[in-house]
Amino acid sequence: MFGVRKFIVVLAFAAEHMAGGLPLSRAILGAGVGSLMFGMAAITTRGLAVPIGLHAAWNFGDWILGGKGSPGLWRVVVEEGQQQRAQLAGTIGYLAIMSLATITFWLWYRSKTKLQLHA
């Protein structure tokens, strides 16, 4: 049942981001994968401050790089004909960062629960 709940949350986050204009693939890969990390952060820290802070920091960083549809502090310039490669590199980087963060929170959670069992 726990897996079904996670799946429902992933779909809800993806649907919310699709309503904001993201295509289905980016909503699932972006918001869906991100929701797993934010959820693990909430479970591990037993609160919402850390996942909300992480989400705000991610959005701020995305804005700085111009990823919010308006120019940020920096403007990423991709050479003509390299857009697909740049998008793939960005997607792989995002998935790597989110996966690493999710695993880190999961390991932190496991270490906390093991300490409670031995106490």
Other Cβ atoms less than 10 A from the Cβ of 46: the count is 9
Residue entry with tokens 């695993």: 103
What region does 46 belong to: left with phi over 0, alpha with psi -120 to 50, or beta? left
Q: Using a pLDDT cut of 70, give the percent of the chain over it.
A: 95
- Examine the pLDDT at 89 and tell me if it is beyond 50: yes
Mean pLDDT in the chain? 87
Domain boundaries, the chain: 2-118
pLDDT, residue 88, reads: 92
How confident is residue 100, by pLDDT bands cut at 50, 70 and 90? very high
- The model's pTM: 0.81
Residue predicted with more confidence, 50 or 23: 50
Q: Which runs of consecutive H residues, i.e. helices, occur in the chain? A: 2-19, 24-26, 33-45, 49-64, 83-118
Alpha-carbon span 52 to 32, nearest angstrom: 16
pLDDT tens figures, 37-79: 999 999 999 999 999 999 999 989 988 887 777 777 888 888 9
pLDDT, residue 38, reads: 93
